[in-house]
Structure 1
């Protein structure tokens, strides 16, 4: 089943502490954003990617796309001050029915089987998100005092991609902007309309490159992937 990717890539990456866009940091001699884009470049079911970027980084990103032969970019749009606005710009640039995936540009270790499951669920139910269950005991606390231990079987750590029928995502995005609601992810926007969102179990390797520690983890994942190919 075919899909199109909407990829917000206009964040500041302050927690990485690099002093510039963390997506330009290198893993095995390739920028993080290129590793992420290659996942979709190599998936025959992906029919295109819409990138939302900072206007002053557009030329640098275009140069990377050319250098590494990324050919599936349908459009590059100006990103907003918030992720929600960047995705809204991608929605406006797309305007086609079908399944769309919203994916963090800083998650380069996504497995194709997770993508396929998301697309299938979104086709059937309209909305699906990638997530993993927490490994540790979870507690609720106020002012540093534990109130109770939470049943972790009911908890999920949400990742991306998040997959939707285009009309569902468009309605949710437009409603949120119209009503001045700012959500933390696209699923939250869909949930507030009362639309059920299905969970697709992902992998713990689908980590977002947010801190320096994540880069170390990323290098380990890449090394293991290379060893598996030998």
Structure 2
């Protein structure tokens, strides 16, 4: 079985209150994106790694790879205007029959175990996404009124989100829609049911400054 990992690294530094895009910030003296790539390279699945970057960041990434002596094999793909288009560009570059894991570049603490479990379950079920059950009470706001939701029915979606290549190619032939918040929503919109695998609490997404501090603590632990 052939495996691919698409690592989507199109984020800006806006919510981090920095001009440096989040994927390039230093985490334990190494850019966040390099931690993420290493996680996939160390997995038993050994996927071919595609990094999707804004075209303007390709040279910067190449300089970082030289500076940090980063030699893990990977291919850099040009990003698009939306995440949807970035993922589509990467999918279009894959031709051999395979299963493809799509992962946020700014989730650098993902474990080898979760990566391998996602690939294995996707082969078994056709697709799988990582998600964790909500540990907080949840309320929905609609028309200025709030209502309680059942906490045990709420899952917080993470990545990787892993699918067979034919399904991804079919799904990403659609036109972009603002309702597409992740790859699962793109695939679900053409009629596929989405399977969930238990994610990891440590698989945090670095969005705000506190997230980077937390990631540093988790790495040291």
**TM-score normalised over the length of structure 1:** 0.90
Q: Is the 8 A contact 1:121 1:198 kept in 2?
A: no
With 60-69 and 100-109 compared, the bigger mean Cα shift is at 60-69
Distance 1:111 1:2, change over 3 A: farther
Q: Shift of the alpha carbon at 1:65?
A: 2.9
The aligned length equals 219
Partner of 1:79: 79
Pairing of 1:195-210 with structure 2 (within 5 A) = 195-210=192-207
Partner of 1:138: 138
Partner of 2:25: 25
Q: Is the 8 A contact 1:34 1:64 kept in 2?
A: no
Distance 1:49 1:216, change over 3 A: same
Taking the aligned partners of 2:129 and 2:13, their CA distance within structure 1 comes to: 23
With 1-10 and 181-190 compared, the bigger mean Cα shift is at 1-10
Taking the aligned partners of 1:13 and 1:187, their CA distance within structure 2 comes to: 25
Q: Shift of the alpha carbon at 1:141?
A: 2.5
Q: Shift of the alpha carbon at 1:11?
A: 2.1
Q: Does residue 201 of structure 2 align to residue 216 of structure 1?
A: no
Q: Shift of the alpha carbon at 1:69?
A: 2.8
Pairing of 1:1-230 with structure 2 (within 5 A) = 2-66=2-66, 67-73=68-74, 75-142=75-142, 145-146=145-146, 148-174=147-173, 176-177=174-175, 180-182=176-178, 183-224=180-221
Taking the aligned partners of 1:21 and 1:58, their CA distance within structure 2 comes to: 13
**TM-score normalised over the length of structure 2:** 0.93
Taking the aligned partners of 1:223 and 1:144, their CA distance within structure 2 comes to: 43
With 60-69 and 159-168 compared, the bigger mean Cα shift is at 60-69
What per-residue deviation string (whole Å, max 9, x for no partner) do you get for residues 79-133 of structure 1? Answer: 0111110000101111221111000000001012111221122112211100001
Q: Is the 8 A contact 1:102 1:163 kept in 2?
A: yes
Gaps of 5+ in 1: 225-230
CA RMSD of aligned residues (A): 1.5
For 2:93, what is the secondary structure of its paired residue? helix
What per-residue deviation string (whole Å, max 9, x for no partner) do you get for residues 177-227 of structure 1? Answer: 2xx424111100111111111101011110011000101111110110xxx
For 1:97, what is the secondary structure of its paired residue? coil
Gaps of 5+ in 2: none
Q: Shift of the alpha carbon at 1:70?
A: 3.3
Taking the aligned partners of 1:216 and 1:133, their CA distance within structure 2 comes to: 23
Greater share of helix: 1
